Structure 1
Amino acid sequence: MSETELHEAPATEQDELDEDDRLRPEFVDAVLDAVRDGDDEAARALVEPLHPADIADLFELTPHEDRGRLATALKDLLDADVFAEMNDYVREDLIDALTPTQVADLASELDTDDAVAIIEDMDEAEQRAVLRALDPDDRAAIEEALSYPEESAGRLMQRELIAVPDHWTVGDAIDFLRQHEELTTDFWEIFVVDAGHHPVGTCQLSWILRTPGNIAIADVMKREQTLIPVDMDQEEVALRFQKYALISAAVVDSANRLVGMITVDDIVHIIQQEAGEDVLRLSGAGEGDINEPIRFTVRTRIAWLVVNLGATILSASVVGVFQGEIARFALLAALMPIVSALGGNAGTQTLAVVVRALATNQLTSSNTLRMLMREFQIALCNGVALGGVGAIGSYLILGHLQLSIVFAVAMMINSLVAGLVGVIVPVALDKANVDPAVSSAVFVTTATDVMGFFSFLGLASLWGLSG
Structure 2
Amino acid sequence: MADLAPDPAEEKLLAAEPGGRPDDRIDDERHDEENRLKPEYVRSVTTALDEDDTDRAYDLVEPLHPADIADLLELLDRDDRRALAAAITDLLSSEVIAELNDYVREDMIETLDAGAVAGIAEQLETDDAVQMIEDLDDADQQAVLAELDAEDRAAIESALAYPEETAGRLMSRDFVAVPEHLTVGDVIDYLRQREATTDFWEIFVVDAAHHPVGTCELSWILTTPRTIALTDVMKRDQTLVPAAMDQEEVALMFQKYGLISAAVIDENGRLVGQMTVDDVVHIISEEAGEDTLLLSGAGEGDINEPIRDAYSSRVRWLIANLGTAVIASAIIAFFGAAIEQLVALAVLMPVVASVGGNAGTQTMAVTVRAIAMNQLTRSNTGRMLVREMRVALLNGVTIAVLVGLATGVIFTPMLGGVIALAMVINVITAGLAGVAVPVMFERLDQDPAVASSVFVTMITDSMGFFAFLGLAVAAGLAG
Category of TM-score, reference length = shorter chain:
over 0.9
From 125, 142, 149, the equivalent of 1:111 is 125
**Cross-structure match for 1:85:** 99
Q: 1:410-449 residue pairs with structure 2 within 5 A? A: 410-449=422-461
- Structure 2: distance between partners of 1:303 and 1:193: 51
Using the TM superposition, give the Cα deviation of residue 210 of structure 1 relative to its aligned residue in structure 2, in angstroms: 1.1
**Cross-structure match for 2:269:** 256
Tell me the secondary structure at the aligned position of residue 286 of structure 1. coil
**Cross-structure match for 2:387:** 374
- Structure 2: distance between partners of 1:290 and 1:188: 36
CA contact (8 A) 1:146 1:155 kept: yes
Q: 1:129-144 residue pairs with structure 2 within 5 A? A: 129-144=143-158
Q: 1:90-169 residue pairs with structure 2 within 5 A? A: 90-169=104-183
Q: 1:204-243 residue pairs with structure 2 within 5 A? A: 204-243=217-256
**Cross-structure match for 1:320:** 333
In the alignment, structure 2 segments of 5+ residues that lack a partner are 1-14
1:332 aligns with 2:345: yes
From 12, 23, 28, the equivalent of 1:15 is 23
CA contact (8 A) 2:356 2:461 kept: yes
CA contact (8 A) 1:230 1:253 kept: yes
**Cα deviation 1:294-331 (Å, max 9, x = unaligned):** 11111111111111111111100000000011111111
- Structure 2: distance between partners of 1:23 and 1:44: 16
- Structure 2: distance between partners of 1:23 and 1:401: 59
**Cα deviation 1:249-301 (Å, max 9, x = unaligned):** 10001111000001111111110000000001101111111111111111111
Question: How big is the alpha-carbon RMSD for the aligned residues of Structure 1 and Structure 2?
Answer: 1.3
- Structure 2: distance between partners of 1:322 and 1:209: 79
Q: 1:389-404 residue pairs with structure 2 within 5 A? A: 389-398=402-411, 400-404=412-416
- Structure 1: distance between partners of 2:207 and 2:459: 57
Change (3 A) 1:46 1:12: closer
Using the TM superposition, give the Cα deviation of residue 248 of structure 1 relative to its aligned residue in structure 2, in angstroms: 0.6
- Structure 2: distance between partners of 1:185 and 1:409: 65
CA contact (8 A) 1:250 1:258 kept: yes
Tell me the secondary structure at the aligned position of residue 23 of structure 2. helix
Identity of aligned residues (%): 60
AA of the residue aligned to 1:437? A
Using the TM superposition, give the Cα deviation of residue 443 of structure 1 relative to its aligned residue in structure 2, in angstroms: 0.6
CA contact (8 A) 1:162 1:184 kept: no
1:38 aligns with 2:69: no
CA contact (8 A) 2:175 2:274 kept: yes
Q: How many corresponding residue pairs?
A: 455
AA of the residue aligned to 1:461? V
Tell me the secondary structure at the aligned position of residue 319 of structure 2. helix
AA of the residue aligned to 2:438? P
CA contact (8 A) 1:163 1:192 kept: yes
In the alignment, structure 1 segments of 5+ residues that lack a partner are 1-10
**Cα deviation 1:351-374 (Å, max 9, x = unaligned):** 000000000000000000000000
Using the TM superposition, give the Cα deviation of residue 18 of structure 1 relative to its aligned residue in structure 2, in angstroms: 4.3
- Structure 1: distance between partners of 2:250 and 2:47: 45
Tell me the secondary structure at the aligned position of residue 57 of structure 1. helix
**Cross-structure match for 1:193:** 206
**Cross-structure match for 1:7:** none
Using the TM superposition, give the Cα deviation of residue 184 of structure 1 relative to its aligned residue in structure 2, in angstroms: 2.0
Tell me the secondary structure at the aligned position of residue 292 of structure 1. coil
CA contact (8 A) 1:383 1:412 kept: yes
Using the TM superposition, give the Cα deviation of residue 395 of structure 1 relative to its aligned residue in structure 2, in angstroms: 1.1
Q: TM-score, normalised by structure 2?
A: 0.93
**Cross-structure match for 1:457:** 469
Q: TM-score, normalised by structure 1?
A: 0.96
- Structure 1: distance between partners of 2:434 and 2:51: 57
Using the TM superposition, give the Cα deviation of residue 175 of structure 1 relative to its aligned residue in structure 2, in angstroms: 1.2
AA of the residue aligned to 1:339? V
1:173 aligns with 2:181: no
Change (3 A) 1:100 1:44: same
- Structure 1: distance between partners of 2:63 and 2:84: 16
CA contact (8 A) 2:16 2:63 kept: no
Using the TM superposition, give the Cα deviation of residue 37 of structure 1 relative to its aligned residue in structure 2, in angstroms: 2.3
Tell me the secondary structure at the aligned position of residue 196 of structure 1. coil
Using the TM superposition, give the Cα deviation of residue 404 of structure 1 relative to its aligned residue in structure 2, in angstroms: 0.8
AA of the residue aligned to 1:212? P
Tell me the secondary structure at the aligned position of residue 185 of structure 1. coil
Using the TM superposition, give the Cα deviation of residue 12 of structure 1 relative to its aligned residue in structure 2, in angstroms: 5.5
- Structure 2: distance between partners of 1:147 and 1:161: 20
